[in-house]
Amino acid sequence: MAAPRGEFSSRFGFLMAASGSAVGLGNIWGFPTNTASNGGAAFLIVYLVLTFALAYPALMAELIIGRHARSNAVTALKTIATSNGSKLLAVTVGVVGIITVSFILSFYAIVSGWMIAFFFDPLARLVGMDGLSQWLTTDTAVRNSIFVVVFMVMTVVIISAGVKDGIEKWATRLMPSLILILILLTLYVFTLPGAMDGLRAYLIPDFSRITDPQLLIDAMGQAFFSLSLGVGTMLVYGSYISKDENLPVVGSLVALLDVGIAVLAGLLIVPAMYVALANGVEIFDESGALIAGPGLIVSVLPALFNNMGSIGILVASAFFILMTIASLTSSISMLEVPVAYSVENHGVRRPVAALLIGGTITIISLIIVFNFDPLFDLVVNFTTERSQPLLSLFICIFAAWIWKRNDILQEIKSGCPEAENGIFWKIWPFYIKFICPVAILVVYFQ
Ligand code: TRP
């Protein structure tokens, strides 16, 4: 029944795939705007603390469970369950994770589709097709539908090709390009008038905000979304890691890459907004806060690029290709969750599973596109604010309260023989048992 399982061919391959999953719209769009609207570096500091104190332990729980069971989330959680009750919980958490990540992908694909449309806009203007440019940048259901389909086709094609020839191959190509484009764009924006004001807004902490509950909630949501936690994404990627790999080390590298790229993206986006301000573009909303929603990416920044003259065409295409790459390496990690389950537990062939599930998610996206106002925010909030934190909580409970401590240690020791005496084993079990569940619950009930 079970098809032979894929495995990442190297540490680099895994790092690119997992950081590709982690780095997405959440880093380049969500993080900078959250920072700018939550007291600058005060948010950054809280976010860093929460990432390493809460999100990294939860990430490790997923990687360890995944590599131990070498299977998708449903089977993996069932493997470590000890009683009928915990087996039922395992299936529930696994299946709700699959449903949640499918809905996350359904809204993610819409936003990613905008990025592709905006990538083509400067090219259309370059060749003088102003009508096309107008169509590409006007928010219509038809345009959105077309680009949702384009984006989902790319996602399905990569996932059909499997772990090595799909996920790993594309992540190792795309992630280095992403980092390079991000650095070049940031350096360029730094040379423009107004950038230093943005840098100040980004980096000077407003410590009076640090006790603001909203800041805490936003920072924790951001940390869990950004590390793709709760829904089985990292668990499945963990199941493709070699048994010789040192898990605590690769896990911390993924967290560092994720945070590093978020911080770097902040150095690009916030200064770019102030450059736009210096160019006469409105960057504050009626309440005086920085524009953070879709308006930032689809109106403020394009207005800035349009003001830049001919170099603006290059900068705009570089920026939107960056966004598209970030989206794609994340969306493949989402689609992999249901696909791995169907392949392993129901014997469906991978390309068929990718096509059927990808097709279904595309239909959900299209339903949202045509009913945007009632549905979009609802789906975003329900999946990311309700479902994801609770699922993370249950995965922590599985790792800490249900799984046998000695089995966990054996799994970590594979690839890290000295684990028992290392710092990770001194701290992590305690964190995952007490601190993570309590912290998640506290923030959840805020
Ligand atoms: N982490 C990605 C981002 O920051 C999005 C993402 C990928 C994700 N896989 C996920 C979010 C699974 C939640 C769950 O954009």
Using the mean position of ligand 1's atoms as its centre, give its distance from the Cα of residue 24 in Å. Answer: 7
Q: In this predicted structure, what is the pLDDT of residue 194? A: 95
Give me the phi and psi of 284, to 5 degrees please: -115, 145
CB atoms within 10 A of CB 131: 9
Averaged pLDDT, 194-209: 90
Task: Kindly tell me if the per-residue pLDDT of 434 is higher than 70.
Answer: yes
Ligand 1 atom 11: residue of nearest CA: 228
In short, whether 25's Cβ falls inside 6 Å of ligand 1 is yes
Judged by phi (left if over 0) then psi (alpha if -120 to 50, else beta), residue 71 lies in beta
Using the mean position of ligand 1's atoms as its centre, give its distance from the Cα of residue 332 in Å. Answer: 10
Q: In this predicted structure, what is the pLDDT of residue 1? A: 43
Using the mean position of ligand 1's atoms as its centre, give its distance from the Cα of residue 177 in Å. Answer: 19
Using the mean position of ligand 1's atoms as its centre, give its distance from the Cα of residue 222 in Å. Answer: 10
The 10s digit of each residue's pLDDT in 137-158 is: 999 999 999 999 999 999 999 9
Tally the domains of the chain: 1
Is residue 291 classed as helix, strand or coil in its secondary structure? coil
CATH of residue 145: 1.10.4160.10
Q: In this predicted structure, what is the pLDDT of residue 4? A: 63
In short, whether 27's Cβ falls inside 6 Å of ligand 1 is yes
Burial class (CB in 10 A: 0-12, 13-18, 19+), 132: middle
pLDDT: which is higher, 293 or 285: 285
In short, whether 265's Cβ falls inside 6 Å of ligand 1 is no
In testing the pocket of ligand 1, which one of 167, 174, 220, 233 has its CB within 8 Å of the most ligand atoms? 233
In testing the pocket of ligand 1, which one of 98, 226, 229, 361 has its CB within 8 Å of the most ligand atoms? 226
Cα–Cα distance for residue pair 118/303, rounded to 1 Å: 12
Ligand 1 atom 13: residue of nearest CA: 228
Cα–Cα distance for residue pair 262/36, rounded to 1 Å: 13
Average pLDDT, the chain: 94
Structural element, H or E, at residue 110? helix 84-126
CB atoms within 10 A of CB 196: 13
With tokens 């210096």, the residue in question is 278
Give the nearest ligand 1 atom to 331 CA: 7
Task: Kindly tell me if the per-residue pLDDT of 3 is higher than 80.
Answer: no
> Cβ(399)–Cβ(247) under 8 Å?
no
pLDDT grade, residue 2 (50/70/90)? very low
DSSP 284: B
Cα–Cα distance for residue pair 402/69, rounded to 1 Å: 15
Using the mean position of ligand 1's atoms as its centre, give its distance from the Cα of residue 242 in Å. Answer: 23
Whole domain around residue 136: which residue ranges?
A: 2-445
Structural element, H or E, at residue 63? helix 56-69
Using the mean position of ligand 1's atoms as its centre, give its distance from the Cα of residue 134 in Å. Answer: 31
Averaged pLDDT, 94-121: 98
Task: Kindly tell me if the per-residue pLDDT of 77 is higher than 90.
Answer: yes
Cα–Cα distance for residue pair 329/23, rounded to 1 Å: 8
In testing the pocket of ligand 1, which one of 23, 229, 334, 335 has its CB within 8 Å of the most ligand atoms? 334
- Provide the H-helix boundaries in 279-348: 294-295, 301-307, 310-346
Give the nearest ligand 1 atom to 334 CA: 9
